[in-house]
Amino acid sequence: MLDGFALLALLVATLRAATPLLLAGFGELVAERAGVLNLGVEGMMLVGAATGFIATAATGNPLLGLLAAALAGAAMALLFGLLTLTLRANQVACGLALTIFGIGLSALIGLPWQGTPITGLATVLWPGLDAASPLVQQFMLLDPVLWLALAAPLLVSAFLYRSRPGLVLRAVGESHDVAHALGYSVLRVRYAAVLFGGAMSGLGGAYLSLVYTPMWTENMVAGRGWIALALVVFSAWKPGWLALGALLFGFVTIAQFHAGALGLDISPHLLTMLPYLATVLVLVLISRDATRLKLNAPAALGKPFTATG
């Protein structure tokens, strides 16, 4: 049976597993709320993971690594923005291309760094980590990036629903033509949203390579970018449900390890599949209400904007 300490460890592990999804998911949520569908989340996360790892290994400072990862993710998003916003290319095709590009680019730049040891974020923040008691160690596993990820639902909700720029952002995602007619700069809002999404994806990727694993291997994001995308849609673009989905994914990811420990005889492949399956299933079930979907889906999602009139 699980005692108190084991429960705490399970909670901490769940939060850590959910952090990359929270970061990437809330980045994408903001971009989609502005009407831009960026399917390149997986690619941006991978480039962020590789860049963050390389910067950390080169400088020995994981904080610089996190910064580099956010910038790398934003750079990928800028490329996407140039293609889809300025040149008005198809967002779906460009997003898929961005992911493929990101897989290749991260593998290329990360190749010399495979197997390189780095200083973990926790070690830098708390030098006495190894000497501390197991209980304290658990709390030290809750690093600032994780807290940022946990705060993301609240911050993004407050921004979207309580601030004027958030209102303008939702308006642009709802009808870019009306927003334009009212005198708002559609492209400026969308660039800002897309760049934010890229930076958050980059951070999410870096959390995997700097904290969660911590190491660099090719394609280490392993579909989490796609899950983040799916979470945004299945959560009906609602911050609360998105957070719930990400935490659920984290929990099932961790629970599958315990299933093995409990002696349940289930194929490991099935267990690996479980987090993806459970998350999608639950979110599909809770977001069945067509009216709510209609109310929340950004009406201009994926549509290119051309100023007319």
Partner 1 sequence: MPQGATPLMHGQVLPPRLALTGIVKRYGAMLANDAVTLSVAPGEIHALLGENGAGKSTLMKIVYGVVAPDAGTIAWEGRPVAIPDPNAARALGIGMVFQHFSLFETLTVAENIALGLGTRQPLAALTAEIRRVAAQYGLAVEPGRHVHHLSVGERQRVEILRCLLQRPRLLILDEPTSVLTPQEAEGLFAMLRRLAEEGCSILYISHKLEEIRALCTAATVLRAGQVVARCDPRIETAESLAEMMIGGGLARTSRPPARWTGPPCLVVDGLTLAADEPFGTTLREVALELRAGEILGIAGVAGNGQKELLAALAGERRAPGARILLQGRPIGVLGPAERRDRGLHFIPEERLGRGAVAEYSLAENALLTRLNPTTAPRGLLDLRAVNALAARLITRFGVRCAGPAAQGRSLSGGNMQKFIVGREIDAGPRVLLAAHPTWGVDIGAALAIRQALLDLAAAGAGVLVVSEDLDELLEIADRIAVLSGGRLSPPVPVSQTSVEAIGLLMGGAEGVAHAVAA
Which residues would be at the binding site for partner 1 (CB under 8 A)?
164, 167-168, 170-171, 174-175, 178-179, 181-184, 291, 294-299, 309
The whole-angstrom separation of Cα 102 and Cα 251 is: 28
We find the least distance from the C-beta atom of residue 171 to partner 1, in angstroms, to be: 5
For partner 1, which is the closer residue by CB, 19 or 287?
Answer: 287
- 122 versus 156: smaller Cβ distance to partner 1: 156
Is the CB of 164 or the CB of 269 nearer to partner 1?
164
d(CA 9, CA 15): 10
Q: Is the CB of residue 198 less than 8 Å from the CB of residue 79?
A: no
Structure tokens at 210: 């700097």
* Rounded least distance, CB 268 to partner 1, Å: 44
Question: Which residue's CB is nearer to partner 1, number 34 or number 211?
Answer: 34
Q: Is the dihedral angle over the CA atoms 140, 142, 145, 151 positive or is it negative?
A: negative
Q: How far is CA 242 from the centre of its chain?
A: 11
Min CB(177)–partner 1 separation in Å: 8
Whole-angstrom Cα distance, residue 209 to residue 243?
22
For residue 105, the tally of other CB atoms under 10 A from its CB is 17
Shortest distance in whole angstroms from residue 184 CB to partner 1? 8
Q: Compute the least distance from the CB of residue 259 to partner 1, in Å.
A: 41
CB count in 10 Å sphere of residue 194:
27
Q: What are phi and psi of 305, to 5 degrees?
A: -110, 130
Q: Closer CB to partner 1, residue 152 or residue 171?
A: 171
